[in-house]
Amino acid sequence: MRQLIAATTGLIAFALGNLPVQADGIGNPARGLEYAQANCAGCHAVLKDETESPNPDSPAFAAVAATPGITRTALSVFLQSPHPTMPNLIVAGEDADNLIAYILSLKTPAETKPN
């Protein structure tokens, strides 16, 4: 029995260790990118190397990530408020976690600070 528990615990630890999670473990950046490509890419440049947004008034996500003071909390507040130009765009729950994990993943290491 003890061996079974040890084996099971080892398996769980192995599985967790292989999940693609961000530094703080909240949200899935790959899913966030999918969500951004489906919902945000019409206006924002969403990829790391993209600097020109389709809609020039929309900041590229890499630029958003590089803004000093952009943290999970700041993005979370932003996503729960209507966009200035888009009253219906509110992102919540898992979609918001994934999106935030993705945007924060665009920060270069020097900009990464604890929230």
Q: Is the dihedral of CA 29, 48, 108, 56 positive or negative?
A: negative
Work out whether 89 is an interface residue with ligand HEC (CB under 6 A): yes
* Rounded CA Rg of the chain: 17
Calculate ∠ Cα 8-11-17, nearest 5°.
145
Work out whether 84 is an interface residue with ligand HEC (CB under 6 A): yes
Q: Which is nearer to ligand HEC, 9 or 112 (CB)?
A: 112
Within 2-31, which residues bind ligand HEC (CB under 6 A)? Answer: none
Within 64-83, which residues bind ligand HEC (CB under 6 A)? Answer: 64, 67, 78, 83
At 56, the amino acid letter reads P
Considering the complex, what minimum distance in angstroms separates the CB of residue 51 from ligand HEC? Answer: 14
Q: Is the dihedral of CA 79, 49, 33, 108 positive or negative?
A: negative
Give residues in contact with ligand HEC (CB under 6 A).
36, 39-40, 42-44, 55, 57-59, 64, 67, 78, 83-86, 89, 91, 99
